[in-house]
Structure 1
Amino acid sequence: MITVTNLTKRYGGRYALAGLDLAVGTGVTGLLGPNGAGKTTLLRCLATTLAPDGGSVDAFGLDPADPVQRTALRRRLGYLPQDPGFYPHFTAFDLVDYVAILKELTDREQRHAEVRRVLAEVDLTGQAGTKVRKLSGGMRQRLALAQALLGEPDLLILDEPTVGLDPAQRMLFRTLISRMGESRAVVLSTHQTEDVAALCERVIVMREGRAVFDGTPGQLAEVAAGQVWLSDTAPPASRVFWRTADGRYRTLGERPPAAHGTAPGVEDGYLTLLGEAA
């Protein structure tokens, strides 16, 4: 569905995207990477809110560099930015309705039905008449997700979508996004490796504007195979380790004395792959 070819974006003397090549199809694709890796810049280019300095994006056969095709592409995508802007004196319903008007849903009755649908999807029906300024942080994040779902977009772009969500809300989000990934392309950026492990069929790890890993969460975990250890005593302080809930010590890297191996997770693979950059 979406192909990125030799994409570059520069801020001053630093490349946020450094010749990135990527193809994304139906399903949920997760982007991982340290701060400054280029994840948000990539999502903004896909969402047509930022023009790259070089390279190209092709989405559904449309070229966002062309104004007419860019408008056609925007009709087919939903976007949740990292820092969504809100009008604090709007109600939740009015805010989503306003975005629906911008997305050219002109029939009032059909538009309001669609607004009610997406509010229900994110469990905000009861807060439809509440002003945005009175909503909690988690509710505002769900409201931002609701506007991205308007019109059942073919491409859903989500930047840090689970920020501020409690465990129950995170479970609701996973249910919703996994269902959407069955029939459309979902690309999400996150620092939550547990979301990637739970949701994504595919994970891309970015570093300095390039993709340094592209595979399944299981394949990312295997990057740390043979490098995750459990011991009853604390290893030397120079190692990467932490004390677990059962009082043992989990170490990533070389084997400490009297330690035994344990199965790696997505976070272990990510930390091993990026080393100090993580």
Structure 2
Amino acid sequence: MTVEVRGLAKRFGRTTVLDNVDLRVGPGVTGLLGPNGAGKTTLLRCLATTLAPDAGEISAFGLDPARHEQRTALRRRLGYLPQDPGFYPHFTVFELLDYVAILKELTDRSRRHREIRRVLAEVELADRARTKVRKLSGGMKQRLALAQTLIADPDLLVLDEPTVGLDPEQRMRFRALASRLGESRTVLLSTHQTEDVAALCERVIVLTAGRVVFDGTPEELAGVAAGRVWISDTPPAASTLFWRTADGRYRTLGECPPSGETVAPAIEDGYLLLLGATSANAGEGAA
């Protein structure tokens, strides 16, 4: 395994954000799902060595980030995309990546510039190399953030909401890139997009209230809702979660509505049931 976490805990004031988290992450693409406030960003920050836990242990490539010299060695093999990456708006795209590459110890100028051109091509920003960062669109800035994460070809990628701000075509291209990266390294990404998990993750971890409540394949997560997803011609009882589909029928998650027929569940269905969305949304529906 690339990363092992044992008994990880983190508090902010009186709020417990991570509560005795155990997990192991190996090569491939692993998705981290969870509602807002579940502790996803805090967990990723701990794994990226930007935040120290209050208790527990982290090991990555056999290195202990709690020890200074091993933390430095780990950072050389790590690429981290934070949820809110900071930029210097007056830098050009190339200048910003050049600065990041120097921080990543690429001291040879020719090699460094080749690496910058490589990552720009990976995220399809080569034609924006001389553009000021402040003039980029939101989606372009997100791709720039991903580019700086890829500099120096890290073995472990920790990505916090990497598809935020990307349009459908850009998200498709990100999935292709992430799946390609996952063939030879470990990629851990958090997202609210269950379709991203279905499209590219071999494994999914669900975090809620600072605890891991599911760890398995996307198919196994969808299976949580097996026999609990229905299509009917009339609205179900108010105690279930449902919505009106494009063909005018009603899709229900929960108990069988009158004249309902069961359909195959999706990842989103299992995720919502796992988090207790049916009971939490009792009486709510979309017509």
Q: TM-score, normalised by structure 2?
A: 0.95
Counterpart CA distance in 2 for 1:84 and 1:110 is 25
Which residue type is aligned with residue 125 of structure 2? L
2:165 maps to: 164
1:263 maps to: 264
Structure 1 residue 13, shift from structure 2 partner: 1.2
2:206 maps to: 205
Q: Secondary structure at the match of 1:270?
A: helix
2:73 maps to: 72
Which residue type is aligned with residue 178 of structure 2? I
Q: TM-score, normalised by structure 1?
A: 0.98
How high is the sequence identity, in percent, across the aligned residues? 74
Cα RMSD of the aligned pairs, angstroms, is: 1.0
Counterpart CA distance in 1 for 2:168 and 2:200 is 15
Q: Does 1:109 align with 2:110?
A: yes
Moved >2 Å (runs of 4+):
none
Q: What whole-Å deviation, never above 9, does each CA across 1:132-170 have from its counterpart, x for those lacking one?
A: 111110000000000000111000000000001011100
Q: Secondary structure at the match of 2:196?
A: helix
Counterpart CA distance in 2 for 1:199 and 1:94 is 32
Counterpart CA distance in 1 for 2:238 and 2:139 is 38
2:284 maps to: none
2:11 maps to: 10
Counterpart CA distance in 2 for 1:244 and 1:93 is 46
Counterpart CA distance in 1 for 2:267 and 2:120 is 32
Which residue type is aligned with residue 122 of structure 1? V
Structure 1 residue 232, shift from structure 2 partner: 1.3
Structure 1 residue 237, shift from structure 2 partner: 3.1
Counterpart CA distance in 2 for 1:235 and 1:130 is 54
Which residue type is aligned with residue 71 of structure 1? T
1:192 maps to: 193
Counterpart CA distance in 2 for 1:158 and 1:244 is 33
Equivalences for residues 44-123 of structure 1 within 5 A: 44-123=45-124
Counterpart CA distance in 2 for 1:132 and 1:245 is 40
Counterpart CA distance in 1 for 2:6 and 2:237 is 45
Q: Secondary structure at the match of 2:276?
A: helix
Structure 1 residue 233, shift from structure 2 partner: 1.6
Counterpart CA distance in 1 for 2:233 and 2:139 is 39
Q: What whole-Å deviation, never above 9, does each CA across 1:159-217 have from its counterpart, x for those lacking one?
A: 00000101110011000000010111100000000000001000000011111000000
Which residue type is aligned with residue 9 of structure 1? K
Counterpart CA distance in 2 for 1:121 and 1:37 is 31
Q: Secondary structure at the match of 2:36?
A: coil
Counterpart CA distance in 2 for 1:148 and 1:114 is 12
1:242 maps to: 243
Structure 1 residue 234, shift from structure 2 partner: 1.7
Q: Secondary structure at the match of 1:174?
A: helix
Which residue type is aligned with residue 214 of structure 2? F
Which residue type is aligned with residue 162 of structure 1? T
2:227 maps to: 226
The answer for unaligned runs of 5 or more in structure 1 is none
Counterpart CA distance in 2 for 1:64 and 1:103 is 17
1:253 maps to: 254
Counterpart CA distance in 2 for 1:161 and 1:208 is 22
The answer for unaligned runs of 5 or more in structure 2 is 282-287
Counterpart CA distance in 2 for 1:247 and 1:83 is 40
2:143 maps to: 142
Which residue type is aligned with residue 262 of structure 1? V
